[in-house]
Amino acid sequence: MKIVTIIGARPQFIKAAPFSEIFRKNNEEILVHTGQHYDKNMSDVFFEELRIPKPDYNLGVGSGSHGLQTGRMLEKIEELIVKEKPDGMLVYGDTNSTLAGALAASKLHISVFHVEAGLRSYNKLMPEEQNRILTDHLSDLLLCPTQTAVGNLKNEGITASVLNTGDIMYDVVLRNIEISQSRYSNGAWLEELREQNKNIPIFTENEYYLATIHRAENTDDQKKLFEIFSAFEKMDKPVILPIHPRTRKLINKLDINLENVTLIKPVGYLMMLYLTANAYMVVTDSGGLQKEAYFLKTPCTTLRDQTEWIETLDNDWNVLSSIDVNTILKTATRELDCLKYPQPMLFGDGKAADHICHAILKGGK
């Protein structure tokens, strides 16, 4: 079987790795990077460390408005489909690349396989939510990470060719956590951070908060940013925050003394796994990091009013927080009763890539 796989951002490369390894043993996969996100950290080392296949095509679309970006992708992916003549199109998640791939394939009557189908935040102000819904309704095979996702699709009248394969990100975490722990144990993590960043204080494992802020609804709102960082300054433990240069510039305008917050350059996946696994708590607005924290049994506070990963809310492993200093502080410094409870297997058996591969080769049966 020959398929084209569309990816557009670093998290999608990471998700694609375990599937590609299995599928390529007896089948052909054409890996296409749309260039939606350019990541200078995606060097040869990145691909080698995580055993990720390099793209066969890079469309170089770059940034732009949603319409401009998606339109350019649609045009280039359509040309590529006509050239390669695949049996199917595999798309991951909820980016503009996901939607563009699904649209291009559907219009050319190529089967669409959607990994991470059925997720819903029920907030259509999020572009990701629109991409999810549209992609699911275009797809021929809907590969869901959880039973909740299956139920969401059923509520929208989609029941044919819907499978709960488990979450492929769980595969990725299991595949890389031992590598991460081996590489960064015995203080190697702190040594590397100090090599790449100036004035890094000494941190103790399990005695820091790991924070990330990247959603436009937070970074583009000065009032929200002020509330978030004011709360971070009042935390009972130091905060480590890998930050994008654009967000760093916005913070500099807020005139906040960051004595309890250490801003560091963006880190690689293995380092991020280590920081997550050894944090006291994760505080984030990221969908993926909420889930990785859950997999690694690290409590989480999510700086959003809703989450597409509602399973993580069980027993308060993850708790949502509105953007308000007092609410953030109260939520992040809560008693961690979740540590008393075992986690149910809500995200599959860690073999989602096998299940996805089997479903595609069997035509969804």
Give the tens place of pLDDT for each residue, 10-38: 889 999 999 999 999 999 999 999 987 76
How confident is residue 42, by pLDDT bands cut at 50, 70 and 90? low
Looking at residue 188, its pLDDT comes to 95
Q: How confident is the model over 157-174, as a mean pLDDT? A: 97
Q: What are phi and psi of 176, to 5 degrees?
A: -120, -10
How confident is residue 312, by pLDDT bands cut at 50, 70 and 90? very high
Give the tens place of pLDDT for each residue, 272-310: 999 999 999 999 999 899 999 999 999 999 999 999 999
Asked whether residue 225 carries a pLDDT value surpassing 60, the answer given is yes
Does the pTM exceed 0.85? yes
Distance between CA 287 and CA 33 in Å, rounded?
A: 21
Chain centre to alpha carbon of residue 129: 14
Strand partners, 144: 164
Q: What are phi and psi of 131, to 5 degrees?
A: -60, -40
Q: How confident is the model over 40-51, as a mean pLDDT? A: 72
Architecture of the domain made up of 171-340: 3-Layer(aba) Sandwich (3.40)
Give the tens place of pLDDT for each residue, 196-208: 998 899 999 999 9
Distance between CA 41 and CA 98 in Å, rounded?
A: 22
Give the tens place of pLDDT for each residue, 54-79: 999 999 887 778 888 999 999 999 99
Distance between CA 358 and CA 365 in Å, rounded?
A: 9
Asked whether residue 159 carries a pLDDT value surpassing 70, the answer given is yes
Asked whether residue 365 carries a pLDDT value surpassing 50, the answer given is no
Q: Could you tell me the two tokens for 133? A: 């819904």
Three-state DSSP state, 275: helix
Q: Are 37 and 14 in contact (CB under 8 A)?
A: no
Alpha helices per DSSP H over the chain = 10-23, 44-49, 66-84, 96-107, 127-138, 147-155, 168-184, 188-196, 216-219, 222-233, 245-252, 269-277, 287-295, 325-332, 352-361
Q: Are 323 and 296 in contact (CB under 8 A)?
A: no
Q: Are 312 and 294 in contact (CB under 8 A)?
A: yes
How confident is residue 216, by pLDDT bands cut at 50, 70 and 90? confident
Distance between CA 267 and CA 193 in Å, rounded?
A: 9
Strand partners, 5: 31, 90
Distance between CA 155 and CA 321 in Å, rounded?
A: 27
**Same topology between domain 2-167+348-361 and domain 171-340:** yes
Q: Are 327 and 303 in contact (CB under 8 A)?
A: no
Asked whether residue 39 carries a pLDDT value surpassing 70, the answer given is no
Looking at residue 364, its pLDDT comes to 47
- Structure-model confidence comparison of residues 216 and 42, the more confident one: 216
Task: Tell me the domain boundaries of the chain.
Answer: 2-167+348-361, 171-340
Q: Could you tell me the two tokens for 128? A: 């990701």
Strand partners, 242: 264
Q: Looking at the annotation, which residues are catalytic?
A: 214
Instruction: Tell me which residue of 340, 348, 286 sits closest to 317, measured CA to CA.
Output: 340
Distance between CA 218 and CA 277 in Å, rounded?
A: 25
Q: Could you tell me the two tokens for 240? A: 């480590």
CATH number, span 2-167+348-361: 3.40.50.2000
Q: Are 8 and 96 in contact (CB under 8 A)?
A: yes
Distance between CA 152 and CA 133 in Å, rounded?
A: 10
Range of weakest confidence among 82-91, 280-289, 297-306, 355-364: 355-364
Distance between CA 83 and CA 30 in Å, rounded?
A: 12
